């Protein structure tokens, strides 16, 4: 029988066995929020979970894939119907409790894979708190920042170099088209770059953000909910990005497994 990697499908003796060998517990986390008129509100969740599923299948035997945490931090999206937001402290407590549970069962490597930009500071805090409050080494990564993704995305990019890949954009729409084309209505896809970039404020999923870090209410930044250019999206680009993101995550898994954890030393 093929080795199980989906945490929820395991029995407790199988969880015990997985935690006893070199194994990274992958914890996907995303949110539900508006993604323009052409994409479903589960975009961040479907994309993140799918990248993690592909990566976990490739790394079966050295990972377990925890069911995703569906909800995230999206209060700035509440002017659009659809967003379900949880508070910042709830998110930190929730994510940390999941990671601490995994550490309690013996997992010593935990990788939080985030699919929603505004969760970023919180998953960083969750990973840090897990390190200081448990014996496990935890890390967090946004799936679009996994090694190799940026190079593939830039090689495929037809949208504006700064802002064309942001939200419900060329990047996310391509991935959704590769996964569930039946749920994407490209006739409603619009290019919108209404977020008013200035000298030190700009934002792009792949190109990075300017030094002036801020997040206004989404309805102040976009009329359609789109930030970027989904009209340039194709399923072929989505398949290439999916493959790159999964490969990047496997690289991170192996790097975490190879990293030693020397004993702490109290210098008092
Ligand atoms: Zn998104």
Output the tens digit of pLDDT for each of the chain's 268 residues.
Answer: 689 999 999 999 999 999 999 999 999 999 999 999 999 999 999 999 999 999 999 999 999 999 999 999 999 999 999 999 999 999 999 999 999 999 999 999 999 999 999 999 999 999 999 999 999 999 999 999 999 999 999 999 999 988 999 999 999 999 999 999 999 999 999 999 999 999 999 999 999 999 999 999 999 999 999 999 999 999 999 999 999 999 999 999 999 999 999 999 999 9
Distances (CA, A) of 86 to 49, 83, 222: 19, 10, 22
Cβ-in-10-Å burial (0-12, 13-18, 19+) of 57 comes to: middle
For ligand 1, the distance from its centroid to the CA atom of residue 238, given in whole angstroms, is: 14
For ligand 1, the distance from its centroid to the CA atom of residue 178, given in whole angstroms, is: 15
For ligand 1, the distance from its centroid to the CA atom of residue 138, given in whole angstroms, is: 24
Kindly report the pTM of this predicted structure. 0.97
For ligand 1, the distance from its centroid to the CA atom of residue 167, given in whole angstroms, is: 5
For ligand 1, the distance from its centroid to the CA atom of residue 24, given in whole angstroms, is: 25
For ligand 1, the distance from its centroid to the CA atom of residue 259, given in whole angstroms, is: 31
pLDDT for the residue 1? 64
Long-range Cβ contacts of 192-195 (<8 Å, 24+ apart): 192/36, 192/222, 192/223, 192/224, 192/226, 192/227, 192/228, 193/160, 193/163, 193/164, 193/227, 193/228, 193/229, 194/221, 194/222, 194/223, 194/227, 195/163, 195/166, 195/221, 195/222, 195/227
How many angstroms separate the CA atoms of 140 and 47, rounded? Answer: 17
Q: Please give the torsion angle defined by the CA atoms of residues 216, 219, 225 and 227, in that order, rounded to the nearest 10 degrees.
A: -40
Residue ranges near ligand 1 (ion) with Cβ within 5 Å: 43-44
For ligand 1, the distance from its centroid to the CA atom of residue 154, given in whole angstroms, is: 18
55 contacts 249 by C-beta, under 8 angstroms: yes
pLDDT for the residue 209? 94
């Amino acid at each position: 029988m093929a080795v199980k990697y989906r945490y929820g499908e395991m029995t407790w003796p199988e969880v015990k066995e997985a935690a006893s060998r070199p194994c990274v517990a992958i914890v996907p986390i995303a949110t539900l929020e508006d993604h323009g008129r052409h994409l479903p509100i589960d975009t961040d969740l479907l994309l993140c979970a799918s990248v993690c599923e592909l990566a976990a299948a490739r790394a079966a035997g050295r990972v377990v894939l925890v069911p995703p945490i569906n909800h995230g931090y999206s209060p700035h999206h509440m002017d659009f119907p659809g967003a379900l937001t949880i508070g910042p402290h709830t998110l930190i407590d929730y994510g940390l409790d999941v990671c601490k549970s995994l550490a309690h069962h013996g997992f010593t490597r935990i990788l939080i894979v985030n699919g929603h930009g505004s969760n970023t500071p919180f998953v960083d805090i969750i990973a840090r708190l897990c390190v200081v409050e448990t014996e496990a080494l935890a890390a967090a990564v946004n799936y679009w920042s996994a090694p190799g993704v940026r190079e593939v995305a830039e090689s495929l990019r037809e949208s504006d170099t700064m802002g064309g890949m942001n939200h419900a954009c060329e990047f996310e729409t391509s991935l959704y088209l590769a996964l569930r084309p039946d749920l994407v209505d490209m006739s409603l896809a619009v290019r919108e770059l209404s977020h008013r970039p200035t000298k030190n404020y700009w934002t792009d999923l792949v190109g990075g953000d300017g030094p002036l870090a801020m997040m206004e209410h989404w309805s102040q930044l976009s009329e359609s909910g789109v930030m970027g250019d989904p009209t340039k999206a194709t399923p072929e680009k989505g398949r290439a990005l999916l493959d790159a993101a999964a490969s990047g995550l496997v690289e991170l898994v192996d790097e975490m497994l190879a990293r030693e954890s020397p004993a702490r030393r109290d210098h008092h």
